[in-house]
Structure 1
Amino acid sequence: MVSTGAVPNLAFRRLRGQRSAGEFAAAVRRSAREIGEQVACDARYIGRVESGEIRCPNYAYERVFLHMFPGTTLADLGFSPRESVRGRAARSTAFPPPPPTLHSNPDEESDVLRRVFMTSGTTLAATLGLSLGGTSAAAATLPHPRRVGEKEVSAVEKAVRQIRLLDDRHGGDGLYRKASRPLRAAYELLDSGSAARRSTADRLHAGAGELAISVGWLAHDSGRLEDARSHYAEALATARVSGDPALEAHAFCNTSFLARDTGRHREAVRAAEAGQRAAQPLGSPRLQALLALREAGGRAGLGDRTGCERAIGRALTAFGRGPSDSDPEWMSFFREAELEMLEAQCWSALGDWPRAARHARRATRLQDPHFTRNLALYRTELAWDLARAGRAEEAAATGHEVLDLLDHVQSTRIRGMLAAAVETLKPQRATAEVREFLDRYAATASV
């Protein structure tokens, strides 16, 4: 058994050598920049690691440490295996980095969602197995009462991470229905089970709520907007029942995003403001920045340029404070590229096409190539903004880049945005570059 007391990490302390904790933290930040990571490492963080309070680093820190000390493993650095770390520390780890390839099969990969549950607890295996077989009697396999433990909660948390990882690579269209199955299993656990400990119950509520948001996002991205609205509402209800402000802020964040995309701009503003209130005790400037940008998007849709600019200003200030250990796990996507993209969408909604195009171009240049779906999204936004700004040849060239990616990304939302850019370009068909792109788009759309 693992001791509940903190065990000093002497191996990590030896690696620091004669450097002070502050000097070592600075070396960690330099190494992070070398590989494109952002970590908020300071002397306090180093102290927490050396004291054993941090038994396993999140994935961003893991990449940095293994870059600093090539050929080592986490065990060599004095850390515990990730699967042995329970409670909030396990929940706060960042997502595993997507593999570097862009040429994998999304249908094969989405089967991972099934395997996550099939290998994590007999009740979940039976429940999900029946669901996959089209049987509606899954609930009958759950004994009453059911004591929910580590295996079941870990399965829910793992499903959340896996869904997000696959979405980053392929978009929501091919994943939504498969991801709905583990979501049903998670809520069946909540409805029919009882956790042995309060901490387990809290993790199960948080995991189920995050799973609802993840599935809601897949619905959103694949054009199933009413389904997305329902899933986000389910997550918000779970947050309220369990008193989880982090989950509540996340649910409001996505609700605001959906409201903006469906033209309900006042609702987008209200949801973003509610999210900012929920997030206040969490101490995450980056979360506040994202919620301020959600508000800005809603205000832009209302034509409120002044309110939009103020919200963008708050977002830039908060983002400039840097990452924090209190940043939620799901925000791994929110880097400078996403900041630029969301600002581009604000200016686009306000009709300032040249300014929107500048920010969208920055987003495409800054984006991590592992986030394939976002690469396609940002380039689609850029093509649209360039087309509306009258720069048809540049828009066509960017459109070709989007088509190059759509073999690997299944996103109704992105295809809809690209179709809008195509309509804007059609009057410029006499231009050879535009005609070539339009012909290629038409051939692709007809397949």
Structure 2
Amino acid sequence: MNRRTFLANTTFGAGAFAAPALFWSTASRAEAEPEQLASQGPTTVRDADVLRIHQTVLAFRRLDRAQGGGDLRDTVVHHLNGVARTKLAGSYGDEVGRRLFRAVAELTELAGWLSFDSGRHALAQRYHIQALRLAQAADDPAYGAYVMANMACQAVYLGHGWEAVQLARAAEQGGGSRLGPRARAIVASMEARGYAALGDRRACERAMGTAERYLDAANAVEDDPSWCNYFDESELQHEFAHSHRDLGLPDKIHGFAGASIKLRRAGASRRCAQDTTFMAAAHLAQGDLDAACAKAGEALRITGNLSSTQCNDFLADFRRRLRPYAKEPIARAFSEEADHILGDLAAA
């Protein structure tokens, strides 16, 4: 919590995930006694204090999915460095301490995710590593596995497919029997994304099949942790669309992305923008310029209401692919609209 100068002066490196991931997965499998977390501080921490942190995380997660992480990041980091740090320095017994560390792990991971969605990848990496350590102290290997799945997501987004696969595998091993089927579906879908980035279609499809089976099993379970209950059929179809995008298989993208949009819960605007952009790129790869620009225009208007570097990056990638058609009137019209809505971010 006190390492903000250190955090600000580092750069993202996929290898930096390796040591904490290995330590976590090894420690999770060991039959050691949980850490003693009792603390003596100036103020007493109660279960109600822990619950408020948990409810704050839930509220910010909903906002993140609806509007992107850019405008939320500073608020969450401020809450982490203020309220959460104060509670950690308070007075509590071991059981309350375990619940407190678990709640602060969720808040820390959220700060990492929002930093990722803001394009601040070194900060995101460090927050994720801190969240993993907090989850370990809280004796919550299932949540640690979820943190590692998000590490894998960031790694593959930045082009580190092999590291993403290793993180996903370690997440499943470390989570062990305490990892429920819905969480396992998340982990398997990140493994699929890693294989897609490596161009390994067979391994990707195998991992996608695993994710699908786990999600089918999860639908009969009603007591999933709050941090993973967002992952439904729509999310799975999104991950499949994303994987086929990275594999360079545009004919497969329309069905998966279209299903994801159709099944999408209200308030999931960022995912909708991404899936629509994937469909636009697929149309372009298939040579249908009119459909590509029309679909990209839809994505552009959704993205214009978000604060998400991820969505901006996907649209910027589409614009790069559109350059060979720069003289076509429909392509020029889209580029002008993108410049108007997104400004410098769209032209990056």
Shift of 1:426: 2.6
Paired residues of 2:182 and 2:215 also in contact (CA < 8 A): yes
Structure 1 residue 384: deviation in Å?
Answer: 2.3
2:153 aligns with one of 240, 257, 265: 257
Note the C-alpha offset of 1:246: 2.1
The aligned residue for residue 17 of structure 1 is: none
Which residues of structure 2 form unaligned runs of 5+? 1-39
Q: Corresponding residue for 2:126?
A: 230
Q: CA 1:287 to 1:144, structure 2 compared with 1: closer, same or farther past 3 Å?
A: closer
Q: CA deviation at 1:403?
A: 2.1
Residues 1:439 and 1:276: Cα distance change in structure 2 (over 3 Å): same
The alignment status of 1:207 with 2:134, answered yes or no, reads no
TM-score w.r.t. the length of structure 1 is: 0.64
AA matched with 2:158: T
Deviation at 1:431, TM superposition (A): 4.1
The number of residues matched between the two structures is 304
Structure-2 separation of matches of 1:306 and 1:400: 33
| Greater gyration radius | 1
CA contact (8 A) 1:216 1:232 kept: yes
Residues 223 and 412 of structure 1 are in contact (CA less than 8 Å); yes or no, is this contact kept in structure 2? yes
Q: Is the CA contact 1:170–1:373 (under 8 Å) kept in the aligned structure 2?
A: yes
**Structure 2: distance between partners of 1:154 and 1:322:** 25
Cα distance, 1:281 vs structure 2 = 1.6
Greater mean deviation of Cα atoms: 367-376 or 425-434: 425-434
Indicate the SS of the match to 2:199: coil
**Contact 1:426 1:438 (C-alpha < 8 Å) held by counterparts:** no
Compared with structure 1, are the counterparts of its residues 320 and 218 closer, same or farther at alpha carbon in structure 2 (3 Å cutoff)?
Answer: same
CA contact (8 A) 1:216 1:231 kept: yes
Aligned counterpart for 2:176 among listed residues 257, 272, 280: 280
How far is the alpha carbon of 1:369 from its aligned partner?
A: 3.2
SS in 2 for 1:195: coil
The answer to whether structure 1 residue 298 and structure 2 residue 194 are counterparts is yes
Residue number in structure 2 paired with 1:309: 205
* Aligned residues of 2:41 and 2:91 also touching (Cα < 8 A): no
Q: What is the CA-CA distance between 1:213 and the residue it aligns to?
A: 0.9
Shift of 1:322: 3.8
Question: Which is richer in helix?
Answer: 2
The answer to which of 402-411 and 258-267 deviates more is: 402-411
The match for 2:237 among 334, 340, 346 is 340
Q: Is the 8 A contact 1:159 1:182 kept in 2?
A: no
Q: 1:169 to 1:443 in 2, by over 3 A?
A: same
- For the residues of structure 1 that align with 2:167 and 2:55, how far apart are their CA atoms? 28
- Work out the CA distance in 2 between the residues paired with 1:369 and 1:394: 25
CA distance in 2, matches of 1:182, 1:401: 35
Structure 1, gaps ≥5 residues long:
1-142
**TM-score (norm: length of structure 2):** 0.82
SS at structure 2 position matched to 1:332:
coil
Equivalent of residue 222 in structure 2, options 310, 315, 325? 325
- The aligned counterpart of 1:422 is 319
Q: Structure 2: how far apart are the matches of 1:191 and 1:284?
A: 28
Instruction: Report the RMSD for the aligned CA atoms in angstroms.
Output: 1.9
Alignment of 1:16-415 (within 5 A): 144-189=41-86, 191-196=88-93, 198-282=94-178, 284-323=180-219, 324-415=221-312
